[in-house]
């Protein structure tokens, strides 16, 4: 019976593509269309990943994909001008603000500007429609698009490649050091249950430094399934701080695959922050391909009710003298479920690797569940590698101590939860964003954030 359901979940997307491929491709770009046949073949051959697959054993992917979601193949505008109806600002943070409604980059007029009308950001960063730039400059993007996100390696990447029609392109030119972060608001909008297939390509050229902030929100209460694939290329001696925040609602399901390639001497700091949502499956794969490259992965996850948050990470050390630090923390309340599967791979040629991974989890009820699977795979002999995982409940002695000093039980629990998660928040380098996260984390623990429909009400 499960095999029939798994097949039905896959077949609805295969049939959808086969019936609408002409329209879907017409509203996209030849560069994106060129990979669709390969993606379709990979899907038919490999099927959707099930719990029998090691990388997906904690999340039922076919069940997530089973509902009959609508797909905006005809490219109808869902929201005329997001700037007028939605605002997501971080007090004290001056940023270059951009809106992506479902998968479409929107300007203040509600429409794309023609390329000749576009201007670069204050720091020279280019933020463009992936489709538009693929039509204008396919020779540049063909060196990047689909090179990290291989359709044969992952069926969810194949599904995204099959159906994605547009997305976002961010280019940080050589030598640029940005003072203003680029903030992208991914806004889900629609009156019926919808699937959104979004593609993102980030290119940080040699010697450049940038801060990128991605915030996921809902403009409506309709159920959504978000499929997102991000390919990120960080070139020689470049640096990228990437912040990904999810603040949606319980009817929103998200599948996101992030692929990062780092050249010699580059540095990446990635912060995954999940505050509200339904079921989330995030995959992060980092390749340290050049000598002296370094990366930091931080995860801050807060879940309650029946939320399910699954993070799967892989850091591949492929060159000598590289460093990686990884810290993921979960706070799970009520009947929430969390999963963390992290792997560090050290190739034979990656001598003098320094890699550490930590996963710490706090369960505040007996009904909450956490699955943790840290792993080291080492093929070199001159390395420093360590990993660890802990899962437990609030410290009874600390609660007793605080109550003896007149702090109510509810407030004492909240303070301990905040102290536990703030270790991750403290790693946020942008001070205004760090302060904003402290504020949102406190509201989340107090049960106030869930009612918010836009950041205007969270002030």
Query: pLDDT by residue for the chain (459 residues), tens digit each?
Result: 577 777 888 999 999 999 999 999 999 999 999 999 999 999 999 999 999 999 999 999 999 999 989 999 998 877 666 766 666 667 778 888 999 999 999 875 444 343 333 444 556 899 999 999 999 999 989 999 999 999 999 999 999 999 999 999 999 999 999 888 999 999 998 888 999 999 999 999 999 999 999 999 988 888 999 999 999 999 999 999 999 999 999 999 999 999 999 999 999 999 999 999 999 999 999 999 999 999 999 999 999 999 999 999 999 999 999 999 999 999 999 999 999 999 999 999 999 999 999 999 999 999 999 999 999 999 999 999 999 999 998 888 888 888 888 888 888 888 889 999 999 999 999 999 999 999 999 999 888 765 444 443 343
Structure tokens at 328: 């993921």
For 35-70, b/e burial (b = at least 16 CB within 10 A) is bbebbbebbeebbbbbeeeeebbbbbbbbbbbeebe
Query: What torsion, rounded to 10 degrees, do the Cα atoms 125, 98, 30, 80 define?
Result: -150
Cα–Cα dist 116/136, whole Å: 11
Res 32: pLDDT = 97
Q: Do residues 166 and 131 touch, judged by C-beta distance below 8 A? A: yes
Res 406: pLDDT = 84
Cα–Cα dist 12/268, whole Å: 38
105, burial (CB in 10 Å: exposed 0-12, middle 13-18, buried 19+) = buried
Q: Do residues 437 and 273 touch, judged by C-beta distance below 8 A? A: yes
Taking alpha carbons only, the member of 157, 164, 203, 127 closest to residue 29 is 164
Res 457: pLDDT = 33
Res 405: pLDDT = 83
- Cβ neighbours for 27, distance < 8 A, ≥ 6 positions apart: 73, 74, 75, 165
Res 256: pLDDT = 97
CA 394 centroid distance within chain: 29
431, burial (CB in 10 Å: exposed 0-12, middle 13-18, buried 19+) = exposed
Cα–Cα dist 150/145, whole Å: 10
Res 452: pLDDT = 47
Res 114: pLDDT = 38
Cα–Cα dist 377/315, whole Å: 10
């Amino acid at each position: 019976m499960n095999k029939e359901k798994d097949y039905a979940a896959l077949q609805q997307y295969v049939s959808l593509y086969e019936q609408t491929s002409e329209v879907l491709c017409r509203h996209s770009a030849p560069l994106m269309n060129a990979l669709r046949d390969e993606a379709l073949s990979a899907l038919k051959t490999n099927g959707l990943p099930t719990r029998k697959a090691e990388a997906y054993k904690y999340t039922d992917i076919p069940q997530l994909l089973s509902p009959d979601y609508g797909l905006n193949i005809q490219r109808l505008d869902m929201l005329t001008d997001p700037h007028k109806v939605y605002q997501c600002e971080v007090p004290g943070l001056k940023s270059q603000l951009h809106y992506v409604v479902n998968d479409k980059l929107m300007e203040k007029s509600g429409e794309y500007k023609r390329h000749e009308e576009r201007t670069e950001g204050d720091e020279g960063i280019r933020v463009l429609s992936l489709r538009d730039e693929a039509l204008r400059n396919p020779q540049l993007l063909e060196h990047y698009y689909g090179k990290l996100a291989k359709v044969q390696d992952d069926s969810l990447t194949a599904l995204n490649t099959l159906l994605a029609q547009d997305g976002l392109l961010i280019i940080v030119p050589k030598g640029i050091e940005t003072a203003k972060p680029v903030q992208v608001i991914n806004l889900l909008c629609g009156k019926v249950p919808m699937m959104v297939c979004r593609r993102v390509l980030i290119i940080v050229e040699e010697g450049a430094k940038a801060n990128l902030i991605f915030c996921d929100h809902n403009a409506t209460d309709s159920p959504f399934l978000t499929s997102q694939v991000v390919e990120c290329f960080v070139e020689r001696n470049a640096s990228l701080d990437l912040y990904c925040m999810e603040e949606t609602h319980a009817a929103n399901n998200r599948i996101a695959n992030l692929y990062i390639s780092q050249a010699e001497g580059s540095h990446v700091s990635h912060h995954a922050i999940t505050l509200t949502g339904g079921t989330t499956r995030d995959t992060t794969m980092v390749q340290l391909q050049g000598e002296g490259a370094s990366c930091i992965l931080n995860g801050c996850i807060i879940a309650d009710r029946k939320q399910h948050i699954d993070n799967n990470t892989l850091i591949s050390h492929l060159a000598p003298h590289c460093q990686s630090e990884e810290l993921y923390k979960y706070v799970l309340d009520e009947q929430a479920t969390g999963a963390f599967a992290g792997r560090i791979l050290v190739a034979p040629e990656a001598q003098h690797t320094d890699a550490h991974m930590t996963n710490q989890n706090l369960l505040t009820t007996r009904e909450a569940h956490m699955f943790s699977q840290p792993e080291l795979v080492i093929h070199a002999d001159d390395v420093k590698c360590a990993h660890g995982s802990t899962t437990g409940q609030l410290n009874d002695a600390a609660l007793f101590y605080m109550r003896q000093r007149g702090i109510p039980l509810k407030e004492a629990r909240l303070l301990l939860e905040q102290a536990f998660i703030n270790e991750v928040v403290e790693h946020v380098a942008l001070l205004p964003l760090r302060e904003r996260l402290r504020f949102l984390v406190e509201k989340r623990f107090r049960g106030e954030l869930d009612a918010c429909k836009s950041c205007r009400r969270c002030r």
